Amino acid sequence: TLHTALTDLRHPGTPGPPVLVCATAGTTDTGAIDPLPALADLADTQGARLHVDAAYGGPLLFSDTHRPLLTGLHRAHTVTLDLHKLGWQPVAAGLLAVPATAHLAPLAHRAAYLNADDDTEAGLPDLLGRSLRTTRRPDVLKMAVTLKALGRTGLADLVDRTLAAARTFADLIDAHPAHELHSRPT
């Protein structure tokens, strides 16, 4: 179990290595969500950090109906969202959420081959400090425009209708004698 694995990593009387527990909030294949409150409790007890990959399920936060599925998400130390999945964004629209900008300090690490001082001195933009994707452009404008245009309620409506359509489709498959439903949508 995870409890046993974390306990084995922490030898009594020694500081032990830093430990990160990674949970999933919405798997790609089935939409399964890990028991976030229990994992947060375990991480707290064991002195581990909790990261939640909410790449697929994160947009459930927009929906008053489906938000409770993500109970415990707020206890994560870091969260990733990938809004090209259930956020109707281009593929590059991903986010890493941290509780404070100080947690992003490791991103300030400089590497000579990436941080060319002569480029900076020449006034060329340094994309390394603007995106986790290093030299690729940040695509936050697309997300900001969608949020501004649709708002939380508009995105919630899209999420709710998508999940309702998944349930309806599952019902149709389940009712058809020639098909077998793998599992109910979560």
The tokens describing 57, both together, are: 């399920």
Q: Are 13 and 167 in contact (CB under 8 A)?
A: no
Q: Which residue has the tokens 């340094």?
A: 126
Q: What is the pLDDT of residues 57-69, one digit of tens each?
A: 999 999 999 999 9
Q: Are strands 49-53 and 78-82 parallel, antiparallel or unpaired?
A: parallel
| Residue 171 belongs to domain with CATH number | 3.40.640.10
Q: Is residue 137 part of a domain?
A: yes
Which residues partner with 33 through β-bridges?
25
Buried b (16+ CB within 10 A) or exposed e, 170-183: eeeeeeeeeeeeee
Q: Is residue 110 part of a domain?
A: yes
Q: Is residue 140 part of a domain?
A: yes
pLDDT range class, residue 19, cuts 50, 70, 90 = confident
Q: What is the pLDDT of residues 99-133, one digit of tens each?
A: 888 877 776 666 666 666 676 778 776 666 555 55
Distance from C-alpha of 170 to C-alpha of 173, rounded to nearest angstrom: 5
Count of domains observed in the chain: 1
In this predicted structure, the answer to whether residue 163 has a pLDDT above a threshold of 90 is yes
Answer whether 0.75 is exceeded by the pTM.
yes
Predicted pLDDT of residue 131? 59
